[in-house]
Amino acid sequence: MLGPPLLVWFVLIYAGADYLTGLHDFRVRLHLAVELGMPFVPAMVVFYNSMHLAYLIAPFILRTRPEIAASQHPPSPVVE
């Protein structure tokens, strides 16, 4: 089962990146000026956070590496 090892790997990478970025004060702006004008819609947070549930259960549904690879690269449409 790939779920637990993937979870551990994610936590290590996420926590490691958080630790490294906390070591300095330099920040890189990752947004566009136009994005600051977008309104915040609180009700949309429910849909946004549902994505985390999908990531959480995916390793338990996709149990083999070929299944995971197939989910990341959907087949291209056939053009004749």
The residue behind tokens 């070591």 is: 23
Residue scoring higher pLDDT (42 or 60): 42
pLDDT of residue 36: 92
Which amino acid is located at 68 in the chain?
Answer: I
For residues 80 and 66, what is the distance between their CA atoms, to the nearest angstrom? 27
> Is 27's pLDDT higher than 70?
yes
Whether residue 78 is predicted with pLDDT greater than 80 in this model: the reply is no
8-22, pLDDT tens digit by residue?
Answer: 999 999 999 999 989
| Rounded distance between C-alpha atoms, residue 61 and residue 24, angstroms | 39
Question: What pLDDT is stored for residue 15 in this prediction?
Answer: 94
